[in-house]
Amino acid sequence: MGIIAFIVIGLIAGLIARAILPGKQSMGLIATTLLGMVGSLVGGLVGSLFQRDGRLFDLRPSGIIMSVIGAIVVLLLVGAAGRRRAHA
């Protein structure tokens, strides 16, 4: 996958993840794109857990569905860390 396609899929996945999760996420377009890109890598890692090719920890981008799921997981983790730091 080319870097431009990876960025575009990251943007789309980040926007969908932010639309699915309720609450206020104060991030701009670049942070949303980075969220989707990290979510794509997380989704690729989770997807590789279910493949039997023996390459478990290869960093590879995933499809849009796993990218959105990965972005939701990352958004939940960032939100939980932010709440914990605000209460401390």
Q: How far is CA 58 from CA 4, 40, 41, 53, 75, in A?
A: 20, 13, 10, 11, 22
**Per-residue tens of pLDDT for the chain, all 88 residues:** 578 888 888 899 889 998 998 777 778 889 889 988 898 888 877 777 777 766 655 555 567 888 888 889 888 888 777 666 666 5
Distance CA 44, CA 87 (A): 33
pTM of the model: 0.77
Q: How buried is residue 71: exposed, middle or buried, by Cβ count under 10 Å (0-12/13-18/19+)?
A: buried
Distance CA 60, CA 8 (A): 15
In the chain, what are the domain boundaries?
3-41+59-84
